[in-house]
């Protein structure tokens, strides 16, 4: 069953997506998240088209270089991105674990 899209305004939720070379999975992931107001891509030095794709979908792209110590990328997102996060609710995910296509 296909449900029509009634929502006209975006959900007041910030989505943080952690990436590294996700050009294959990222478009599907970003399409599934089109109803969320803010999407932040935190990327670990991708060498593919991840950054270009993120920007094409209107996501904010944040480079991340891990120094081999704590915090790792996901914890870094929560600790260091407070100035970038617009909403009280945050959804953290990886592109390969995105929702099925809608």
Rounded distance between C-alpha atoms, residue 2 and residue 27, angstroms:
21
pTM above 0.75, yes or no: yes
User: Residue 95 has which token pair?
Assistant: 């592109």
**Bond preceding residue 71 cis, omega within 30 of 0:** yes
List pLDDT tens digits, range 73-97. 888 888 888 888 999 999 988 776 5
Please name the residue ranges forming H helices in the chain.
26-32, 50-56, 73-80
Mean pLDDT of 33-42: 95
The structural domains of the chain, ordered by start, are 11-96 (3.90.550.10)
């Amino acid at each position: 069953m296909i449900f029509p899209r009634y929502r006209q305004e975006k959900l007041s939720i910030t989505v943080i997506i952690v990436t590294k070379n996700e050009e294959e999975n990222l478009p599907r992931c970003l399409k599934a998240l089109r109803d969320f107001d803010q999407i932040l891509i935190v990327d670990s030095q991708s060498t593919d088209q991840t950054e270009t794709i993120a920007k094409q979908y209107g996501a904010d792209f944040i480079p991340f270089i891990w120094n081999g110590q704590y915090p790792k990328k996901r914890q870094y997102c929560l600790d260091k991105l407070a100035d970038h996060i617009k909403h009280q609710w945050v959804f953290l995910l990886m592109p390969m674990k995105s929702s099925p296509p809608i």
